[in-house]
Amino acid sequence: MTEVVLEAFDLVKRFHDGELKVEVLKGISMQVVGGETVAILGASGSGKSTLLELLGGLDNPTDGKVEVCGLDLSRVNEQERGKQRNEVLGFVYQFHHLLTEFSALENVAMPLLIGGMSIPECRSRAIAALERVGLGHRARHRPGELSGGERQRTAIARALVTNPKCVLADEPTGNLDRASAVQSLDAMMVLREDSGAALVVVTHDEKIAAEMERVLVLEDGTIR
């Protein structure tokens, strides 16, 4: 039996813009099982990032619920939610969000340190992840000394170093040229296969979407 790692039940999200109420998501139900790859496509403003934030427990739905490995995120306290996010999920964004004062190695090791792993173990896992994405020789460099593509691959290594059950990526190659985008996608797929993580990726890039097992299209607040 394949494990359900992420499930959305009838998600509704409304934003209040002064008097105006905007219903961005109008009842989204979806399931992600262990190890599968899913692309989310949709026009700009269709609610892709909003959906991903709800799936990752970074924001609460107006209605409906999200379960991460069977756990309803809205029913646990903030500490438990943070723990789930750190241990079960990995996040990759369009902008790398690396800590500029720290080396690539330290950035990748950070979620392991936060998770309570010993420093030598954090180091060796972080180095292994960086080597896996072709950045072993860049481990000591700070983000400012890396190219855009190298920074994104570092962020990908950081998202996957904890062996999450599911990685949520919001336009991970949106800022990169074609060659760097391909390298970053390859890095994500390699680490994903190593760890058996599922991947949900929001993208405008048809080539990335074509590499995923399933494609969901968001339109008018629902999945077409």
DSSP 126-142: HHHHHHHTT-GGGTT--
Nearer to ligand ATP, 117 or 217 (CB): 217
Contact call for residues 138 and 104 (beta carbons, < 8 A):
yes
Query: Could you tell which of ligand ATP, Mg ion, none binds residue 184, using a CB distance below 5 to 8 A set by kind?
Result: none
Nearer to Mg ion, 134 or 174 (CB): 174
Query: Could you tell which of Mg ion, ligand ATP, none binds residue 173, using a CB distance below 5 to 8 A set by kind?
Result: none
Among 37, 46, 49, 84, binds Mg ion (CB under 5 A): 49
Cα–Cα distance measured from residue 183 to residue 155, given in angstroms and rounded to the nearest whole number: 13
Residue 162 engages Mg ion in binding (rule: CB under 5 A): no
Query: Could you tell which of ligand ATP, Mg ion, none binds residue 35, using a CB distance below 5 to 8 A set by kind?
Result: none
CB of 109 to ligand ATP, least distance (A): 30
Strands ordered across the beta sheet of 20-33? 20-33, 4-17, 63-68, 71-72
As given in the structure block, the two tokens for residue 24 are 């961005």
DSSP 23-79: EEEEEEEEEEETT-EEEEEE-TTSSHHHHHHHHTTSS--SEEEEEETTEEGGGS-HH
CB of 172 to ligand ATP, least distance (A): 13
CB of 47 to ligand ATP, least distance (A): 4
Nearer to ligand ATP, 22 or 119 (CB): 22
Pick out residues in 39-98 that bind ligand ATP (CB under 6 A): 42, 44-50
Site size toward Mg ion (CB under 5 A) is 1
Cα–Cα distance measured from residue 140 to residue 137, given in angstroms and rounded to the nearest whole number: 8
Q: What number of other Cβ atoms are within 10 A of residue 83's Cβ? A: 14
Among 3, 15, 99, 118, binds ligand ATP (CB under 6 A): 15
- Interface with ligand ATP by CB under 6 A: which residues? 15, 17, 22, 24, 42, 44-50
- Interface with Mg ion by CB under 5 A: which residues? 49
